[in-house]
């Protein structure tokens, strides 16, 4: 059995082992990354294909006559034409809910950075501001207490629930969007944890922001496409929102002219909520489990439809 993994570097840049997959196959070929024009040649003779971000189209599948299985190395599988795979008799699986703990942790970390400005104050100290200060302490930006503040959670699956648990422990009031939309939108903080669908693409737009509490904060560790980035940047620059912190953008890596790169009070991290070593090890383990189950005739984590981009 010939397995090809097209974009293995982000999962395993060298600190993990591919052994769980190697034990299942006669040959495993792992490419660090694959450009679009390289995909066809690399999968032409493979039986098992694994990828996170490469776009696998009907044409590419048709050009790989031995292909029987595609394993997404992530929860999302927008990049795979699932309908074409079904037509061609190719199984498709994904890895659901593997990064619940780490994404929730990152969402809270972003919230704390928005309120405590840890990086700003550390940079200030290292630049000499504390050494030259007349007082025993100072602050460059107001520090906001989370206890007693409200958090609106949009998407109350495993990650949303975990974020709610942590925020509750910090003394925050939790408002769940699916239960009370108005209360969630009017919260001091709004955090996104929902999948991207045709119905909610760009949902955080000028209209949505106008219904939010003035001076609120937005956090997005879900999907960049949920946010109209131009509208969010305008709201930040005009002071309608006090700040935003995002780990995902509509295009990754972002274009140089992405408006959030120059927006006021906007923290951006490079899609790292999922990257703790424990989470990436879980990806490899579940990849192997899914494949082993498929070989035995099972349907573990089989996906049946293609979500919208």
Residues belonging to the active site: 223, 252, 271
The 3 state secondary structure assigned to the chain is CEEEECCCCCCCCCCCCCHHHHCCCCEEEECCCCCHHHHHHHHCCCCEEEECCCCECHHHHHCCCCCCEEEECCCCCCCECHHHHHHCCCEEECCCCCCHHHHHHHHHHHHHHHHHCHHHHHHHHHCCCCCCCCCCCCCCCCCCCCCCCEEEEECCCHHHHHHHHHHHHCCCEEEECCCCHHHHHCCCEEEECCCCCCCCCCCECHHHHHCCCCCCEEEECCCHHHECHHHHHHHHHCCCCCEEEECCCCCCCCCCCCHHHHCCCEEECCCCCCCCHHHHHHHHHHHHHHHHHHHCCCCCCECCCCCCC
Residue matched to tokens 């991290």: 269
């Amino acid at each position: 059995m010939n397995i090809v993994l097209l974009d293995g570097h982000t999962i395993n840049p060298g600190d993990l082992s591919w052994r769980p997959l190697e034990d299942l196959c006669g040959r495993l070929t792992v490419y660090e990354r694959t450009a679009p024009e390289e995909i066809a040649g690399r999968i032409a003779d493979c039986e098992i294909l694994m990828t996170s971000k490469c776009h696998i189209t009907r044409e590419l599948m048709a050009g790989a006559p031995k292909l029987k299985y595609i394993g997404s190395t992530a929860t999302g599988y927008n990049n795979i034409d699932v309908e074409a795979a079904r037509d061609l008799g190719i199984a498709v699986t994904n890895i659901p809910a593997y990064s619940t703990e780490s994404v929730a942790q990152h969402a809270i970390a972003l919230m704390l950075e928005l309120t405590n400005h840890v990086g700003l104050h550390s940079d200030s100290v290292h630049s000499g501001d504390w050494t030259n200060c007349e007082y025993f302490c100072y602050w460059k930006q107001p520090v906001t207490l989370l206890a007693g503040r409200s958090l609106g959670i949009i998407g109350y699956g495993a990650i949303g629930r975990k974020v709610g648990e942590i925020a509750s422990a910090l003394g925050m009031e939790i408002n769940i969007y699916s239960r009370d939309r108005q209360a969630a939108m009017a919260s001091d903080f709004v955090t996104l944890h929902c999948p991207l669908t045709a119905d909610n693409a760009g949902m955080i737009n000028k209209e949505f922001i106008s219904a939010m509490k003035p001076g609120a904060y937005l956090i997005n560790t879900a999907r960049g496409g949920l946010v109209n980035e131009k509208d969010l940047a305008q709201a930040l620059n005009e002071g309608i929102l006090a700040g935003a912190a995002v780990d995902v953008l509509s295009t990754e890596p972002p274009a140089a002219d992405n408006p959030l790169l120059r927006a006021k009070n906007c923290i951006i991290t490079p899609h790292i909520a999922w990257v703790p070593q424990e989470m990436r090890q879980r990806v490899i383990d579940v990849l192997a489990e899914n494949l082993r189950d498929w070989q035995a005739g099972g349907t573990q984590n089989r996906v049946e439809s293609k979500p919208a981009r």
